[in-house]
Structure 1
């Protein structure tokens, strides 16, 4: 019997390998394998055109998902921030295409769909948001070359997020595991509303840290090891 795959979608501007690297430190390798769902424009797919819609998103990652979504093998989807916002839409896309739905969604640092608001996508607003998030080094902001290279990726991701504001997904039939940093007030404000998006169990966990808790400590992996 093989391990259960946990496919990971990143936060805006991020690489999925950042999540899988963080999880793999403490994930029980006998039971789980963290697999990056790398989006176009970053990591090994740097240089590819970024996606701007959920349809394009699904087409971009479908080849990697197809091995698990077309058979009875169980798997989970994990998303952090933007990745978490995308998971319900990805769930329904998988079902629409005749794939096997995930056993559960692990939603980290993400607001329920009805609480999403349109974000400003101009350069000044995006740089301000990135500084506030705290996941980007000061060296980035001090380098015009890096800003010119990577800011379009963040901008594309925010445009993708803006497209979700008018797309309230239907209920799902899989378990939801909601994980937030105890210092992430924005994500915690309405987190219990995630209950409305599944007919199955919805469980809530808080861990040490802020919005980027998933890279700040190993508690997310511990929750997976103990509770799924």
Structure 2
């Protein structure tokens, strides 16, 4: 399997596949522990882009088009069974852009899309970009987001390793904006953090513009990184979706992907 794709527990006989896309600066390790809580009829794949974790010394992408161009050829082989896309923050936008490219090529699409901790893709993440700031100012921004442990921020050697990745991811997050009017027919779930001062309910509702079915918006305890602070509540939401999909996908429907 490609180094882009982390599969903590292969389940070739699973009914569904869950593909997860991490937030800016994040990696597959956010999702791999989920396998212990997820339904046993789902196979988990977590995306591991260059510049992080086992790929730390590879150059990270700082452009959405280049990232998607490298990732896209790897995805069709994962769509041989019903698939859910889950993205958190920047990961939601990466997952959405990937889905638009799949549709443009007439390839199979996910049967459910989960956008987590993110504005709709038509809205820039920030009007004032931060990825190009001097190190001290950039690290202040990181501290304000509350997603980087203070011990890491205060460790000069670690930050020298992580800053290129963080800047690259932030550049994608802060410059990407989707301008097309394409819409999708699959169900949409949107997750938000109750104490997230960055992403409002109105921001979460922005995803509705691209999906024909009404969005199911769920607000969970925690700030922007509720995915890390309350993973059990997130996986509970995911398991609910898996259960609904399993009930709606009789053997005949599932077999069309086989």
Using structure 2 for the length normalisation, give the TM-score. 0.79
Helix, strand or coil at the partner of 1:41: coil
* 2:41 alignment counterpart: 31
Identify which range, 213-222 or 45-54, moves more after superposition. Answer: 45-54
- 1:159-207, Cα deviation, whole Å (9 max, x unpaired): 1123313x33432232211011111133224122221111134211111
Alpha-carbon distance between aligned partners in 1 of 2:24 and 2:110, rounded to the nearest angstrom: 23
Q: Aligned match of 1:109 in 117, 131, 136? A: 117
* 1:199 alignment counterpart: 212
* 1:131 alignment counterpart: 143
Mapping 1:61-210, distance limit 5 Å: 61-69=71-79, 71=80, 73-116=81-124, 117-118=126-127, 119-121=129-131, 122=133, 123-165=135-177, 167-169=178-180, 170-190=182-202, 191-210=204-223
Unaligned runs of 5+ in 1: none
Helix, strand or coil at the partner of 1:86: helix
RMSD over aligned Cα atoms:
1.9
1:83: how far off? 0.5
1:62: how far off? 3.2
Is 1:221 the counterpart of 2:231 in the alignment?
no
* Aligned length in residues: 223
Unaligned runs of 5+ in 2: 1-12, 243-258
1:63: how far off? 4.9
User: Contact (CA 8 Å) 1:179, 1:205: kept in 2 or not?
Assistant: yes
Alpha-carbon distance between aligned partners in 2 of 1:61 and 1:114, rounded to the nearest angstrom: 22
Alpha-carbon distance between aligned partners in 1 of 2:70 and 2:32, rounded to the nearest angstrom: 19
Bigger radius of gyration: 2
Using structure 1 for the length normalisation, give the TM-score. 0.89
